[in-house]
Chain A
Amino acid sequence: MTSKPTRWSSMFPMTLASALALLTSCKKEARWFDAQVELTRVDVVRRDDKGRPMTKDVEFSYFTCPGHQLEVIRGGTEFAECMDRYKVGDKVPVKIESHWLKEGHWDWDVQALGVCKRPPEEGDEASFDTVQECSDMTVYGAKVGFHCKRIPEKHLLQKCPWFGR
């Protein structure tokens, strides 16, 4: 009894290679989101010789999102001047760009806060975010501590999808 290898056997490596190539060549487009935040801190970090603000830190919370989501962004001269119109406690809209990083995950940048444009710069290591949902830990009914989840869960991502990494 003689027969030749079927198509299947030769198709396996090709199928596998194609699948891997497809997987690695996927290009992910940037996504844009609008949200509302509450300003919790505004600090001038650096001033020029005339005392005008050159860099400003703005801390805000995503009060419409579940949990405790805090972000601090730093902006340059134009942003610093523009932000003078807002004060701590103001609720302002933000424009968020979510993009795919070459490190293999999503990340987001706040591109505008209210009417103030804030293009993020390379090398800005001062801006950061804390995305977490905390709950009390209880043992036999007594509070003994707390637990804060740092990986966003489904209900958070449904409401605020840019937190997905």
Chain B
Amino acid sequence: MTESSSLRKKRRMPALMFFALAACVCLLVFLARKVGAQEPAARGKSDRLTLRMAAHVLPPASASPADGGEASPAAYEEPLEYAKVGPEGGVPVHREGPFKSPFAHPKFGGPAVVKVGMLLTNVRNYDIQKGTFDADFFLTFTSDKAMPPMEPIFTNGKVDHKEVMADKPTFKMYRFLGNFSSPLDLHDYPFDTQELAIEIEDDDNGTDQIKLVADDHHTNLDVGFHVPGWNVAYTEARVLNHYFPDRFEHDDMYYSRYIFKLGIARFGTSAVFTVFVPAIVIVLISLSGLWYPRDELEVRANATTPMLAAAVLFHFALMQSLPATAYLTRADKLMMAVYAILALHMLITWLWFVFDEKHTLRIMRVGKWVGAPLTLAVLLAGMFL
């Protein structure tokens, strides 16, 4: 009897455990949903969390954005909702404001002047081949009146991480980590300066609702900011009013775009030692061959011909680290000069085989005293033109 009851108990245990497990899962899901509902982005410092929660929870003080009150998503009237469709159908338009676009907001009561601040804390993985880089930065919007709901988008990159640190009607603060790309300018390589741009535009608020202004007092680089291998040359921020080519009828809205640029210059010393010194050494070794007489023809030839191979390999290695360009970089021009100099030195040697042997001494003398200054002139031209 005891044995059979213990067997029944054993058989009942899995069923009990199953119910207990199901209850635990339900409880966990319930708790997770509750926590998720209260803390949509529960990360970071406690003060940030408080600020963020306050932005989510506090009720709007005033419904109208035009009078400087709150423009919470609930109070904000979507301009597309009250745009009117004409008798022939098609794109709904606004008839009362300066813009007919369905995204215009004539009821907003004039644009909010939004000062854009930027603190760039880090730039990593700058790829000179693709012009891409990873950036970590804080972005602030401070306005004189309530802003419409803002959703900043990046027109030259994508964001991997976004943290809303403050979302008040007249002050918004975000932290972004993302990957961006900028066009390259390699005309002056290896003394080039590259521009790393971050372009920001609001998703659908035109210039009738927000007018972005670059805030020079609150645009900075973080303490200890540096880009490995590069020198920070300048920072720049500007705003342009962007007009899209017509995407639909009455697409007449302008959009404010904020562009932050970080100028980085290659270290001059590094450029000289990695590009100019090897090229000059190649030229000097080849030039030394001009002082060898005809008896030492083999030595003289060895001073020039292997240098041509060295120059080609060196140039190839230089170009491998850069993308293809439609123009010559300064390094290309230098290497063109090196090729011309090597050709000149070979030509001077070949003159011995073109003219009679009795001119040997004269060719050598002319080769030295004409070849050396010409070499210097061509090299200088390659370096500075």
Chain A residues near B (Cβ < 8 Å): 1-6, 8-9, 12-13, 16, 72, 104, 125-126, 128, 130, 132, 134, 137, 144-151
A128-B223, A149-B234 as given contacts; A6 in contact with B291, CB under 8 Å: yes
The answer to whether B238 touches A5, judged by C-beta atoms less than 8 angstroms apart, is no
The answer, among A12, A132, A145, for a CB contact under 8 Å with B238, is A145
Q: Give the shortest distance, in Å, between B75 (CB) and chain A (any CB).
A: 32
Contact residues, B101-159 vs A (CB, 8 A): none
A137 to B261, CA, bound (A): 13
**Interface membership of B346, Cβ < 8 A:** no
Q: With a CB–CB cut-off of 8 A, which chain A residues contact B237?
A: 145-146
B326: min CB distance to chain A, Å: 27
**Which of chain B's residues have a CB closer than 8 A to the CB of A72?**
223
Name the prevailing secondary structure of the A interface residues.
Answer: mixed
- B339 an interface residue at 8 Å Cβ cutoff? no
Is B240 on the interface with A (CB-CB < 8 A)?
yes
**Nearest CB in chain B: distance from A76 CB, A:** 19
A-B contact pairs, 29 of them (CB 8 A): A1-B293, A1-B294, A6-B291, A8-B288, A8-B291, A9-B289, A9-B292, A16-B281, A16-B284, A72-B223, A126-B223, A132-B234, A134-B216, A144-B214, A144-B238, A144-B239, A144-B240, A145-B214, A145-B236, A145-B239, A145-B259, A146-B219, A146-B238, A147-B235, A149-B234, A150-B232, A150-B233, A150-B263, A151-B232
Residues of B contacting A2 in the complex (Cβ-Cβ under 8 angstroms): 293, 295
Chain B interface residues toward A at CB < 8 A: 214, 216, 219-221, 223-224, 231-240, 259, 263, 265, 269, 281, 284-285, 287-289, 291-296, 299, 357, 360-361
Q: Are A148 and B295 in contact (CB under 8 A)?
A: no
A134: B residues at CB distance < 8 A? 216
Which of chain B's residues has its CB closest to A126's CB? B223
Residue of B237, B259, B285, B287 with most chain A CB atoms under a 10 A cut-off: B237
Residues of A within 8 A of B238 (CB): 137, 144-146
Asked if B236 and A147 sit within 8 Å, CB to CB, the answer is yes
Q: Which of B233, B288, B299, B360 has the most CB of A within 10 A?
A: B288
Chain B residue nearest to A104 (CB atoms) is B269
Considering residues A5, A13, A126, A137, which has the most beta carbons from chain B within 10 angstroms of its beta carbon? Answer: A5
Q: A137-B236, A147-B235 are in contact. List 17 more A-B contacts (CB 8 A).
A: A1-B295, A2-B293, A3-B295, A5-B299, A9-B289, A9-B292, A12-B288, A128-B223, A144-B240, A145-B236, A145-B238, A146-B236, A146-B238, A148-B235, A149-B234, A150-B263, A151-B234
- Cross-interface CB contact of A132 among B214, B224, B235, B299, cutoff 8 Å: B235
- Residues in chain A near residue B292, CB distance under 8 A: 5, 9
Q: Which 3 A-B pairs have the closest CB atoms?
A: A145-B238, A9-B291, A145-B214
Task: With A146-B214, A150-B233 as known contacts, state yes or no: A3 contacts B293, CB within 8 Å.
Answer: yes
Q: What residue of chain B has the Cβ atom nearest to residue A129's Cβ? A: B223
Q: Are A1 and B360 in contact (CB under 8 A)?
A: yes
Query: Among A9, A13, A16, which residue has the most Cβ atoms of chain B within 10 A?
Result: A9
Known contacts being A1-B293, A1-B361, is A128 close to B265, with CB within 8 Å? Answer: no
CA distance A6 to B223 in the complex (A): 58
CB-contact partner of B284 in A12, A130, A148, under 8 A: A12
B230 to chain A, nearest CB (A): 12
- Cβ contacts under 8 Å, A9 to chain B: 288-289, 291-292
In the assembly, what is the distance between CA of A145 and CA of B221, in Å?
17
A126–B223 Cα gap in the complex (Å)?
Answer: 8
Q: Is there contact, CB below 8 Å, between A147 and B234? A: yes
B334 to chain A, nearest CB (A): 18
Chain B residues with Cβ below 8 Å from A104 are: 269
| In the complex, chain A residues whose CB is within 8 Å of the CB of B232 | 150-151
Task: Determine the distance from Cα of A147 to Cα of B224 in the docked complex, in whole angstroms.
Answer: 21
Given A1-B293, A3-B295, check contact A148 B288 (CB 8 Å).
no
What residues of chain A lie closer than 8 Å to B263, measured between beta carbons? 150
Residues of chain B within 8 A of A3, CB atoms compared = 293, 295
Bound: A104/B240 CA distance, A: 40
Contact (Cβ within 8 A) A150 B294: no
Task: Write out the residue numbers on chain B whose beta carbons fall within 8 Å of the beta carbon of A16.
Answer: 281, 284
Q: Please, which residues of chain A bring their CB within 8 A of the CB of B294?
A: 1
- Contacts A9-B288, A104-B269 given: A146-B216 contact, CB under 8 Å? yes
* Cβ–Cβ < 8 Å partners of A149 in chain B: 233-234
Interface centre among B259, B287, B291, B299 (most CB of A within 10 A): B291
Partner of B234, one of A5, A6, A144, A148: A148
CA distance in complex: A36, B1 (Å): 100
Are A150 and B239 in contact (CB-based, < 8 A)?
A: no
Closest to B232 in A: A150
